[in-house]
Amino acid sequence: MPIHQNSIKTLSAEDYRQIEWEHARLERYLADLHETCHNLNSQLGCDTCGSEKLASCHGRMHSFLHDLLDITGKHFVNEEKIMLSRPHVTEDYAYYREHHQAHLQIMKALKSITEQCGMLDRQGATAEAYRELFGQISALFEEHSRAFDDPFIQSTRTA
């Protein structure tokens, strides 16, 4: 998940630290998914893992699903707060409304993804649940970054 690291340097020091910390947290989340499921990059199932590893992966899935919604929701709230702190941005500003709407759509998609992955895990397809979770959230976050975050942060250079 590429995060717009060069662009955010134009934000205030406090906003920059906040965004950097939140993006690092999202990156750690993705890295933790990789570390937890050894079959994330393959099509192998859980039958290739021992019972202890399977129990660990299965046990952590609920926490991953909860954390995803928590981390992302808080990040979106903070990002919108930072946007609204810009002198030319209000809740009526078209770009802000579009960005906010995209956040709402992502949260709705994430809830659907967490339900789907939770169901896969409960059905014993834990490795598949991890693959789906990683792939779908990576794609969502990368698209959001390209469509909204990069342009907004670039705009801070002239605003």
Q: Which two tokens stand for residue 1?
A: 């998940």
Please write the tens of the pLDDT for every residue from 131-159.
999 999 999 988 887 776 555 555 554 44
pLDDT confidence band for 23 (50 / 70 / 90)? confident
Contact 111, 84 (CB under 8 A): no
pLDDT at 7 over 80: no
Q: How far apart are CA 5 and CA 11, in angstroms?
A: 11
**The residue type at 139:** A
At residue 5, the pLDDT reads 40
Angle between helices 51-84 and 13-36 (to 10 degrees): 160
Q: pLDDT tens, 35-86?
A: 999 888 888 888 888 899 989 999 999 999 999 999 999 999 998 998 898 8
| Residue 120 binned pLDDT confidence (cut-offs 50, 70, 90) | very high
Q: Which residue has the tokens 């979106």?
A: 76
User: What six digits make up the tokens of 133?
Assistant: 């979770």
